Structure 1
Amino acid sequence: MNKKYITNLYNIGKLSQVDIHFANFIADLCKEDDPEIILGAALVSHATGQGDICVDLESFSGKQMMEDQNDDIPVMLPKLDQWFDKIRKSSVVGKPGEFYPLILDKNNRLYLYRYWEYEHILAESINRRIKQDVKKINASLLQDSLKRLFPKESEPQHSKNHINWQKIASITAAIKNFCVISGGPGTGKTYTSAKILAILLEQEHSEPLRIFLCAPTGKAAAKLSESIKKTKQELNCSDAVKRLIPLETYTIHRMLQTIPGSPYFRYHSENLLPADVVLVDEASMVDLALMSKMISSIPMTARLILMGDRNQLASVESGSVFGDICDPNGMQMFSTEYSKTLEIITGQKLEPELEHKQENEPENKPKNKPTNKPTNKIAPLITNFTKGQGLPDCIVVLKKSLRFSETSNIGELTQAVNNGEWEEILPLLKKKGTPQIKWQQPKDLKDTYNVIGKKIIQGYSEYLKENDPLKALEQFNNFKLLCALKLGPLGVYGLSRLAEEVLKKEKLILMDMSDVYPWYRGRPVLITKNDYSLGLFNGNMGITMPDPKQGGKNLYVFFPEASGGVKRYPTHKINEHETAYAITVHKSQGSEFDHLCLVLPDKDYLVLTRELVYTGITRARKSLMILGNEHVLKAAVSRSIDRTSGLRDALWE
């Protein structure tokens, strides 16, 4: 191997210019002209740029790669032993815990130092939290809370699975220092979170609990606030407790208090957040760096509750943190001891496959049979489990979707996509007499545009004819075009432009097509950067309209408020934004629409994954149209996001 080969990897698109510059920087730093070390540096730079936390040298070692597009002679990458030995001996590479530009661990994973540190801080904090004692739980008060908040008549006895997973999640969050709640759309994550807060507030406290509710984006934070506000009024608890349930929500950045012009926050490991409870919604969207900074700023004595959907898209930045935390096999596993505790508290028998024998448990340990009703003798059991156990006992998966029934076509498709089995998916897409799902394979771009054009007119005409801003916003969210890509004729920009052309032709909008960012009545707007001065956040969507109360002379952009009303801003005050007839699947996370059209590109891309398709189709409540050929869709659901990291090993081995 020689340095020319690394340059050729750049020429054929295997490495970026940034990767080459970083590799040369490392070479200059260590004053070594060793191509194996330079290659390792280039690969780790490329890996982090692709969303990985590190590069697994073993996955590259001994592989053949073409040196040039027109060269039939393959070049063999270094064998692992040789490569590992050279990198290990380099003056710029250290072991875990040492301070060097690159870190090489015992499992042949090569990291940039800062990513190794982020991963180490996160894993260490989680492992400490699951062993940390929490404040004493009053068993009698807990039982009383559970009886009122989860009455018998609400138990899902009609279901084959009688387990009330929302109740299990609430118990776990109450008696654990660290709790992870994963669930698909409509499984009641935010509904459960309000009950968790009520249970915690009903415990005896010398001072009111300091509770922080947060999410990675402003839109997700606003939705969490809206959901909590709606849910807490329905809770069977005192008005005093309801008043203590906070409605204020934060983005994670605002909660930690960003320092302008700096990657650091006001709250960190040396200046902890003054919190007793921190609840994070849409945690699957949080990248490694932000999760590490957040968790290190939260006191060990505080309860940390992460909520999300482990099957959704991972964060835009590096890592698939929520998925790595949830567990390696996607299975719900409790220790035998914790299963017994839950059975006694709830009076419900947990499924045998949910029990996970811990290493120190005897093979033939007798199991207590569950009672038909909760017992009053649970205090010793609760005391035992507030002293910390393993990570499996901290994770609860909500399984019953209240949005999709067991016979729902969208629900069936969601499960099939999640399984990644094309043989399950294809019959559902081709099944006749299913008005909820429609799959079309246009023959070319013109045919695709014709289909989309009809959906645009059908989906957007109603809101464009409405004069009341609140009603227009409600009608606008009845339908949405979702794209996998931003660029190209079937990306966000191309389809938003198509929508303007179609709607102008139908005389539903009046605009000058020559303007790059024209303001016109009916223009939908997506905020792309947080503006705290206006209270507008990345992901917020609004409609451009005249104010009917002012005679309709000037245009404003109207946005929905959590209170149920609207807020308006003059168009000249709206800064970072884009036209939003179509949005990416990434931007749609946390949103729901009655009717949805998911548009896939006409050829396969690596960004098309099972998680993207799953996230897209689960935004639909009532009907779903998928536009895309069979080859592209099949490739997408067969490809799962697999970001390389050491976090799973650090938490689960």
Structure 2
Amino acid sequence: MSQYIPFEIKNLFELQFFSSLDYYFARSMGKAFKESESIVLASCALVSKVLSDGHICLDIKEISKTIISISKLSDDKVKLPGFDIWVKALKKSSMVSDTISTPLVMDASHRLYLSRYFDFQNRLICNIAKRVSLEPLTMNETVIDEMLAACLTGKDKHILNQKNAVKNALFNNFTIISGGPGTGKTFIISIIKKTVLSYAAKYNLAQPKILCVAPTGKAASKMDQGSTIHSVLKPLKNKSGFYYNKDNPLLVDVIIIDEASMIDISLLTRLLDAVPTAARVIILGDKHQLSSIQAGSVFTDICKVKNHSRNIFFLEYNFRSKGKTGIENLSKAINNNDDKGLEYILTSKEFPDVVFEPLNDKGIPVDLVKRHILEGYKSYIKADKIEAALDELDSFKILCAHNSGEYGTLQINHVCENILRSGNNFDIDKKPFKKIIMVNTNDYKKGLFNGDTGVCFEEKGESKAFFKTFDNNIKQYRTLDLPDSDTAFAITIHKSQGSEFKTILIILPDRLSPVVTRQLLYTGVTRAKARVIIVGDLKIIKKAISLSVERNSGLTEYLDRQLHSNNLFNCEHSSS
């Protein structure tokens, strides 16, 4: 029989509702501020907990109406305080105020933040508002139109939408462009760069300094002369922060930021802090994709802003498939929570680029999955040269929702290795086994970054790893010298962001979890350029597309309000 557990930090820590980090952080803050009120200490731990779940803040008004379970394995619930009692206790505490002078900040809408994240949010809002408030750049619009006419031909409404997005990026200091795969974001980036440089050359102006950045090496490699955000900002050794910051800004006239849905609030704030206010900022991404693993759904939150919508553009038309492929129709059904449309696309056999393999009573249909793995990795395994093997890395990939469990990457990678090492497969016994690996951390000295994928195999008794660089050269390392990395025949859908593959095999679990959501399925399906194979339970998939991730923050509300009022007074007092 379930019971309600009091909202007390020690009890909830012992029941593993709070992590050690949550517990000891709250206790240390309580000790520093001589706070013993149980509601306040538990609130501090709860803010830490929701932050680890991706929320920027704790919405007290909303959470006080909900019932929270202790864990997946327990029917016990947390007995939360009533809204009025909760707010009263927080207002009385010396740990809480409406400024970043205290560890906790409670705003007028009763959202509770760690002060650090309230500061990130405020700095980001002010940064964007300042850029939007600037007058448009003085440029000859007729000349710009002539330049764009050579690239963006036709009067189709989708072409005109692209043209409007490009023109805004050229004339204004802040532009957001959201669109799914095939909608022309990469094309738009190239047009913006070309036009900026051509215009400067035409009028004998100094050549503009253009930076193209993305959160991962894989995403950056899709951009001409792209770099990772971390490599551009240059992390400081042995301490937090970056070499380039508000007080030491980047020397840049135009910065183009791609795959922005993957960027958390901390990194985007620090990046924009380091960009001069006069520089043009163009941010591109897909608002329907999964958000960052860290806190915030910043790109999606900005896309929701109603005021100054002239700075935000949505690309809906897929020029690659033109609405005819199963992949595009499936992604639309997922986004629209259209379970009937989804079921038809998966089961009707009308779309050859979508294959559905239902789970059976024993779980994964092993023989079918084995066939797909052998077919998918055939060219990779048969590659005679390292360069050819590296070229095949984008041909096929297995995606999972989780790392652990029967349907997770650890188990599926183990299955893959067993299958691909067996001697009857493509005469593989006559070729060295080539393991696919993915780097998990940034190593600036070696030039390897989180998400970089390479090939590892034995050569002359020594295990070596090979990676392709942005400029298509090949770097070689001893496997022992690599930063933290994992086998990557199968990776999580989260890890696949910023990448595209010719064929995708998605293996979904046999039950729902907080991870299996609309955004996860959309992100997984849209990684496929030509074909997607989904192994899963249809009932679970239909339920998952009804579950959308909503991360708590005040970003949309406050940015909307700031842009509407155009009052930058509070920004002058923002912490750096």
Equivalent in the alignment of 1:526 = 438
**For residues 7 and 520 of structure 1, do their structure 2 counterparts lie closer, same or farther at Cα, with a shift above 3 Å needed?**
farther
Note the C-alpha offset of 1:270.
Answer: 1.4
Assess if the C-alpha contact under 8 Å between 1:509 and 1:522 holds in 2.
no
> Residue 392 of structure 1 is aligned with which of 296, 299, 309?
309
Alpha-carbon distance in 2 for matches of 1:147, 1:165: 13
Residue type of the alignment partner of 1:144:
E
Q: What amino acid is aligned across from residue 347 of structure 2 in structure 1?
A: K
Which residue number corresponds to residue 553 of structure 2?
645
Kept in 1, the 8 Å contact 2:98–2:105? The answer is: yes
Q: What letter corresponds to residue 36 of structure 2 in structure 1?
A: D
Matches within 5 A, 1:188-587: 188-203=184-199, 204=203, 206-225=205-224, 247=225, 249-327=226-304, 390-445=307-362, 447-508=364-425, 521-544=433-456, 556-564=464-472, 566-587=474-495
TM-score (norm. length: structure 2): 0.89
Of structures 1 and 2, the larger Rg is shown by 1
Within 2, Cα distance between the matches of 1:509 and 1:571? 26
User: 2:570 matched to which residue of 1?
Assistant: none
Alignment-mate amino acid for residue 340 of structure 2: E
The Cα shift of 1:26 comes to: 3.0
Query: Would the aligned equivalents of 2:376 and 2:395 in 1 still touch at CA under 8 Å?
Result: yes
Residue identity in the other structure for 2:145:
Q
1:143-158 equivalences under 5 Å are: 143-152=145-154, 155-156=155-156
Do the aligned partners of residues 128 and 452 (structure 1) sit closer, same or farther apart at CA in structure 2, a change above 3 Å counting?
Answer: same
Report percent identity of matched pairs: 33
SS at match of 1:59: helix
2:18 maps to: 15
Aligned partner of 1:166 in structure 2 is: 162
Tell me how far apart the structure 1 counterparts of residues 427 and 379 of structure 2 sit (CA, whole Å).
16
2:515 is paired with a residue of what secondary structure? Answer: coil
Equivalent position of 1:336 in the other structure: none
User: What letter corresponds to residue 394 of structure 1 in structure 2?
Assistant: N
Whether 1:53 and 2:56 are equivalent positions in the alignment is yes
> What one-letter code is carried by the residue in structure 1 that aligns with 2:61?
E
Cα distance change of structure 1 residues 539 and 32 upon mapping to structure 2, 3 Å threshold? closer
2:566 alignment counterpart: none
| Map of 2:568 onto structure 1 | none
C-alpha spacing 1:188/1:63, structure 2 compared with 1 (3 Å): closer
Q: Residues 58, 543 of structure 1: CA spacing in aligned structure 2 closer, same or farther, 3 A cutoff? A: same
Residues 422, 86 of structure 1: alpha-carbon distance in 2 compared, 3 angstrom cutoff = same
TM-score of the pair, normalised by structure 1: 0.79
Q: Deviations over 1:278-336 (max 9, x none)?
A: 111111111000111111111110001101111111001000000001115xxxx7xxx
Question: Partner residue of 2:567?
Answer: none
SS in 1 for 2:105: strand
Helix, strand or coil at the partner of 1:51 = coil
1:68 Cα deviation (Å)? Answer: 10
More divergent stretch after superposition (526-535 vs 216-225) = 526-535
Map 1:132-147 to 2 at 5 A: 132-147=134-149
User: Cα–Cα, structure 1 residues 575 and 325, in superposed 2: closer, same or farther, change >3 Å?
Assistant: same
Question: Structure 1 2/419 Cα, relative in aligned 2: closer, same or farther at 3 Å?
Answer: closer
Distance in 2 between residues matched to 1:257 and 1:421, nearest whole Å: 45
Q: Which moved more, 1:24-33 or 1:105-114?
A: 24-33
Residues 1:627 and 2:547 are matched in the alignment:
no
Q: Which residue identity is paired with 1:494?
A: Q
Conserved in 2, the CA contact under 8 Å of 1:559 and 1:567? yes
Aligned counterpart, 2:86: 83
Distance across 2 between alignment mates of 1:21 and 1:430? 51
Q: Structure 1 57/432 Cα, relative in aligned 2: closer, same or farther at 3 Å? A: same
Cα distance, 1:645 vs structure 2: 0.3
Q: Tell me if the contact between 2:183 and 2:320 (Cα under 8 Å) persists in the aligned partners.
A: yes
Give structure 1 stretches of 5+ with no counterpart: 226-246, 334-389, 513-518
Are the equivalent residues in 1 in contact too, given 2:364–2:535 (CA < 8 A)? no
CA distance in 1, matches of 2:497, 2:139: 35
Give the root-mean-square deviation of aligned CA atoms.
2.8
Q: In the aligned structure 1, how far is the partner of 2:482 from the partner of 2:87?
A: 53
Supply the distance in 2 between the matched residues of 1:68 and 1:477 (Cα, whole angstroms): 39
Asked whether the equivalents of residues 62 and 76 of structure 1 are also in contact (C-alpha less than 8 Å), the reply is: no
C-alpha distance in 1 between matches for 2:367 and 2:280: 53
Kindly state the Cα deviation for residue 560 of structure 1 after the two structures are TM-superposed: 3.0
The farther-off stretch of 177-186 and 203-212 is: 203-212
Q: 1:511 & 1:38 partners in 2: Cα distance?
A: 59
Residue 101 of structure 2, aligned match among 99, 114, 119: 99
Aligned CA distance change for structure 1 residues 413 and 84 (closer, same or farther; 3 Å): same
1:350 counterpart residue number: none
Aligned in 2, Cα 1:611/1:266: closer, same or farther, shift over 3 Å?
Answer: same
| Separation in 2, partners of 1:567, 1:404 | 35
Report the Cα distance in structure 2 between the residues aligned to 1:265 and 1:626, rounded to whole angstroms.
42
Q: Secondary structure of the equivalent of 1:164?
A: helix
**Residue 529 to residue 4, structure 1, CA distance change in 2 (3 Å):** closer
Partner amino acid, structure 2, of 1:299 = P
SS at match of 2:520: helix
Does the CA contact (< 8 Å) of 2:158 and 2:317 recur in 1?
no
Q: Is the 8 A contact 1:8 1:67 kept in 2?
A: no
| Aligned partners of 1:56 and 1:109 also within 8 Å | yes
Q: Is the 8 A contact 1:84 1:108 kept in 2?
A: yes
1:26 aligned partner, one-letter code:
M
What is the CA distance between 1:546 and its match in structure 2? 7.3
Given that residues 484 and 608 in structure 1 are in contact (C-alpha distance below 8 angstroms), is that contact kept between their aligned partners in structure 2?
A: yes
Q: One-letter code of the match for 1:50?
A: D
Secondary structure in structure 1 of the residue aligned to 2:524:
helix
Shift of 1:120: 0.3
Count matched residues: 554
What letter is aligned with 1:634? K
Distance change in 2, residues 1:65/1:594 (3 Å): closer
Q: Which amino acid aligns with 1:86?
A: A
After superposition, give the CA deviation of every residue in 1:340-384 in whole Å (9 maximum; x if it has no partner). xxxxxxxxxxxxxxxxxxxxxxxxxxxxxxxxxxxxxxxxxxxxx
How far has the Cα of 1:493 moved from its partner? Answer: 1.3
- Deviation, 1:216, is 0.8
Cα-to-partner distance string for 1:141-192 (whole Å, 9 max, x where unaligned):
212212222233xx54xxxx45532211111101111001111001111111
Deviation at 1:4, TM superposition (A): 7.0
Are the equivalent residues in 2 in contact too, given 1:134–1:301 (CA < 8 A)?
A: no
Q: 1:70 to 1:395 in 2, by over 3 A?
A: closer
Q: Secondary structure at the match of 1:224?
A: coil
**CA shift in 2, pair 1:603/1:62, >3 Å:** closer
Shift of 1:489: 2.3
Cα distance change on mapping 1:650 and 1:464 into 2, 3 Å = same
Q: Do the aligned residues in 1 keep the contact of 2:5 with 2:78 (CA within 8 Å)?
A: no
Q: Give distance in 2, aligned partners of 1:499 and 1:505.
A: 10
The alpha-carbon deviation at position 508 of structure 1 amounts to 4.6
| Residue 29 of structure 1: aligned partner | 32
State whether residues 141 and 202 of structure 1, in contact with CA within 8 Å, keep that contact through their aligned partners in structure 2.
no
